[in-house]
Amino acid sequence: MLVPDGDSMRERLVCIFGPTCVGKSAFALKLAEDYGGEIVGADSLQVYRRMDIGTAKPTPADRSRVSHHLLDVVEPNQSFDVSRYQEMASQAVKSIHERRKTPFVVGGTGLYIRALLGGLIDGPPADTELRIRLKGEMKERGKCYLHDLLAEKDPRAASVIHPHDGIRIVRALEVLELTGRSIVEYWERHRFQKLRWDVLRIGLRLDRQELYRKIDERVDRMMAAGFLEEVDGLLKSGYDESLKPMQSLGYRHLSAVVGGRISREEAVRLTKRDTRMYSKRQMTWFSADREAVWLSPDGFAEARTLIDIFLRGKGG
């Protein structure tokens, strides 16, 4: 579908986002199926093969109902970043439009969504010497030390960057030292750039305590489904726990169980705690989107009305 944009026509895209465990996948699956659309994932972990249970990856049954893109594209020991995501997701959106279908971009990785919709963020080029120094400090003193340093110098950036996300911590400190400005300022300026497509933004949210309950239940379901065995299998296959995806929620905690450093019960507790903290950072990020329409995960009627108006002009 096309929408007028001055002298040209822009294609349309539906974007569904929100914190982990809010119900994005089921919500988007039903709507994409209803509208004959296809789903483009915006999840920084579901791109990795072999990491299925801990990433809550769509099941084979779900994928048979609606075509999914940006799942299982690299091995856990292969590099993948926002630039590569933007390139691959843009091509997926293009191919969906060429089939005259509607792309539904769905996920909780805000940086990926922002890069896809508006292009990569304009910022200072990397400073090799500075980056080597910061990475050296991280290796010597740990990611948490560097995140504490970021919190002291740039609390806005620290509030939305995970303490274990070494790449983004280093970049935020690098930008601050090179420019004297928070990387958040670049993100905010980027938000006002002209979008590549006409986008309907639907955010999903729940009462915080209800979301936390769902997070706890999901972690329990993952454990029952064999999450620990999945992590053990990855480690036995040679995927070191120091790899970026293996440092993500749940995977790093269960790697410690396999290594005999903590108990299964403690890993479950920490995974639930850290996932709750992560959901708060996600909401901080997404709440800054002033164009989002916020719905509950059972708000299908409202969503259909919005999508009808957006795609076909019904009811408007």
Residues of the chain with pLDDT under 50: 1-8, 192, 314-316
SS3 assignment, position 241: coil
Token output for 195 = 């979008």
Contact residues for 95 (Cβ-Cβ < 8 A; gap 6+): none
pLDDT on residue 189: 66
Over residues 123-140, the pLDDT tens digits come to 677 778 888 888 888 888
Residue 201 to residue 181: CA distance in whole angstroms: 29
The DSSP 8-state label assigned to residue 57 in this structure reads: P
Closest CA to 162 of 252, 270, 274: 274
Token output for 236 = 């036995």
Strands (E), the chain: 2-5, 8-17, 38-41, 68-69, 103-107, 198-204, 293-295
Token output for 299 = 């708000």
Percent of the chain with pLDDT over 70: 92
Distance of CA 229 to the CA centre of its chain: 24
pLDDT on residue 137: 86
Which residues sit opposite 305 in a β-bridge? none
Element of type H or E holding 221: helix 208-225
Element of type H or E holding 88: helix 82-98
pLDDT on residue 8: 40
pTM higher than 0.85 = no
pLDDT on residue 315: 40
128-187 folds as Histone, subunit A (1.10.20)
Angle between helices 110-118 and 183-191 (to 10 degrees): 50
Sequence ranges of the domains in the chain: 2-119+193-312, 128-187
**How far, CA to CA in Å, does 110 sit from each of 50, 63, 117, 174, 198?**
23, 23, 11, 20, 18
Closest CA to 201 of 97, 111, 310: 310
Q: Under CATH, which number does the domain 2-119+193-312 receive? A: 3.40.50.300
